[in-house]
Chain A
Amino acid sequence: MRRMKILLAVPVVLMSAGCVQVSAPEKPIEINLNINIRQEVVVRLQQDVRDLIKENPGVF
């Protein structure tokens, strides 16, 4: 039980560490876009996304 608690604490510590410092991985992260993106969702968001890109030229 105690061991489990320690194991559970590890990701929490790692996550809070991630808020402060971000280190880039050596290898590019394998992207996985197997989530189901529905076309109607894309169409619904399209205008908002266009505005977002236009308003933030440095980020996009």
Chain B
Amino acid sequence: MSRRTRLILAAGISLALVAGGASVASAMLQDASAQLRASGQVGEQADGYLGLVGSAPAAVRAQVDSVNIKRRAYYTDLAAKRGAKIEEVAATTACELFRTKVAPGQYYRLPDGVWRQRDGSTPIPLPGYCG
């Protein structure tokens, strides 16, 4: 096998892998984060990422990691576009998620690091910088 053939083969294989990964990603649940929050094992954190409320099964941890890796990529992208820090984009997102996505009975974690459960229809007390 010539060097060129090998190169072409390698390129083809990596392309197939990328395409495969993309289709798996798009096949992923459209509401993965919502389902994780609804499970009660996972909550929203002030740092813009999902966190485990207690000890969770490996499958749940893997899903949280998967979501958080994607979040990190989006935050990084937006931060670069707007000349902001990744942490700033992430914290701003957390403010918005606290406002709109954490349903009554679901868990959230403010900068004090304590997990709390949203009480009824009372809004989550937001950190001062949320505006």
Interface residues of A (CB under 8 A from B): 22, 24, 26, 28-35, 37-39, 41-46, 48-50, 52-53, 56-60
Contact = CB atoms under 8 A, between A and B. Distances in A.
Interface residues of B, number: 48
Interface of B: 28-34, 45-47, 51-53, 55, 58, 61-62, 64-65, 67, 69-71, 74, 78, 81-82, 84-85, 87-89, 91-93, 95-97, 100-101, 109, 111, 113, 127-131
9 contacts: A22-B69, A29-B51, A31-B51, A31-B111, A42-B88, A46-B95, A52-B93, A57-B30, A57-B34
A38 B100 CA distance: 21
A60 B33 contact: yes
A53 B97 contact: yes
Contacts of B95: 42, 46
